[in-house]
């Protein structure tokens, strides 16, 4: 799907979002026009809270893109990252001071492929039929998990992709805590470690409180369980039992669940070990699946 057809597809997202009054204001000027494969795999498009229908909720961000080279040449990337976070606050996506702080600290431009617009509120292709989630989805998940990302706590990021959220988690839980990323594409594990090395989360990486591992995230990462916070960055047909088992009593998991129609579910493990589940919002993520299925295009 190219050119005008692509624009029509994006136009539909825009119209849908306007017609259902999605909670974020939008500007089609700032929407990136992704490639065919992006459209198939990337729509981490938040739906409206009532679940009426799909809509790309996109915040008018920074009109132009910033490449890594721009970032390194003048430091302007840091300001643009700050402006992106300000926009997310202005449009009501972020209300938490801690989430503002961490998103200002971890510059998104260091995690997107070179030449990709870093501060546009849209998911971006990162190769291997995967995407980096849109800034508003990162913000939403950080905010839902905030209480479970206190200093000293343990956090697991399943489907860690670029490593952006793993870096945020490590920054929030601090050197006494533990942030683990699990990603099943080894090349993404390697590139995420390089991304983290360039970012403000380099010290937890070097200090050992942040690590990223190649593996099937549906099995969790038992070595550092139980976890106060689990984030899953890909949609599971149903919640994997090992992830529930590895959640600490008092812990919280945020996970997109479903195939075509997906909900971002918030799973709280109560102190007696029982589990409460609620749907936060309708979403569309790439699937939590086998590596083979993902590389074949699902
Ligand atoms: N949250 C990340 C990536 C989101 S895309 C970011 O924003 O950068 C979802 C990621 O989940 C992809 O990187 C994909 O490779 C990974 N994934 C899908 N199924 C998986 C599985 N079974 N185990 C581990 N990772 C998986």
Residues spanned by the domain of 269: 79-296
pLDDT of amino acid 104: 98
The answer as to whether 291 is a domain residue is yes
Other C-beta atoms closer than 10 Å to the C-beta of 77 total: 23
pLDDT of amino acid 218: 98
The answer as to whether 16 is a domain residue is no
Count how many Cα atoms sit within 13 Å of the Cα of residue 100 in the half-sphere of its side chain.
13
Q: Is residue 290 flagged as an active site residue?
A: no
The answer as to whether 92 is a domain residue is yes
Cα separation, 67 vs 77, in Å, equals 8
The answer as to whether 185 is a domain residue is yes
pLDDT of amino acid 78: 82
The answer as to whether 145 is a domain residue is yes
pTM for the whole thing?
A: 0.81
139 in contact with ligand 1, CB cutoff 6 A:
no
Ligand 1 atom 2 nearest Cα: 161
Instruction: Please tell me the distance between residue 4's alpha carbon and the centre of ligand 1 in angstroms.
Output: 30
Question: What are the Cα distances from residue 239, in Å, to 96, 99, 147, 212, 231?
Answer: 27, 26, 22, 22, 12
Among residues 58, 133, 191, 199, the one annotated as catalytic is 133
The answer as to whether 208 is a domain residue is yes
Ligand 1 atom 18 nearest Cα: 288
CATH number of the domain enclosing 216: 3.40.50.150
List of the chain residues with pLDDT < 70: 1-76
- Encode 261-278: b = buried (16+ Cβ within 10 Å), e = exposed: ebbbbbbbbeeeeeeeee
The answer as to whether 278 is a domain residue is yes
How many structural domains are present in the chain?
1
135 in contact with ligand 1, CB cutoff 6 A:
no
């Amino acid at each position: 799907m190219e050119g005008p057809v692509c624009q029509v597809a994006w136009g539909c997202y825009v119209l849908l979002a306007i017609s259902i009054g999605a909670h974020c204001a939008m500007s089609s000027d700032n929407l990136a026009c992704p490639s065919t494969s992006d459209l198939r795999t990337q729509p981490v498009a938040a739906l409206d809270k009532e679940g009426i229908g799909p809509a790309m909720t996109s915040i008018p961000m920074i009109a132009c893109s910033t490449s890594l080279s721009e970032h390194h040449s003048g430091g302007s990337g840091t300001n643009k990252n700050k402006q992106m976070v300000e926009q997310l606050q202005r449009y009501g996506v972020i209300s938490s001071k801690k989430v503002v702080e961490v998103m200002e600290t971890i510059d998104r431009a260091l995690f997107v492929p070179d030449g990709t617009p870093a501060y546009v509120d849209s998911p971006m292709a990162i190769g291997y039929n995967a995407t980096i989630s849109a800034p508003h989805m990162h913000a939403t998940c950080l905010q839902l998990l905030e209480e479970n990302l206190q200093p000293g706590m343990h956090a697991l990021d399943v489907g860690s992709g670029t490593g952006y959220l793993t870096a945020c988690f490590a920054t929030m839980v601090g050197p006494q805590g533990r942030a683990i990323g699990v990603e099943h594409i080894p090349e993404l594990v390697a590139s995420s470690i390089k991304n983290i090395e360039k970012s403000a989360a380099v010290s937890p990486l070097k200090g050992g409180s942040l690590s990223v591992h190649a593996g099937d995230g549906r099995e969790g990462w038992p070595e550092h369980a139980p976890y106060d916070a689990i984030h899953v960055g890909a949609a599971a047909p149903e919640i994997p039992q090992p992830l529930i088992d590895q959640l600490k009593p008092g812990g919280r998991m945020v996970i997109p669940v479903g195939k075509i129609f997906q909900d971002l579910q918030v799973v709280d493990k109560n102190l007696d070990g029982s589990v409460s589940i609620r749907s936060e919002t309708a979403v569309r993520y790439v699937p939590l699946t086998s590596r083979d299925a993902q590389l074949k295009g699902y």
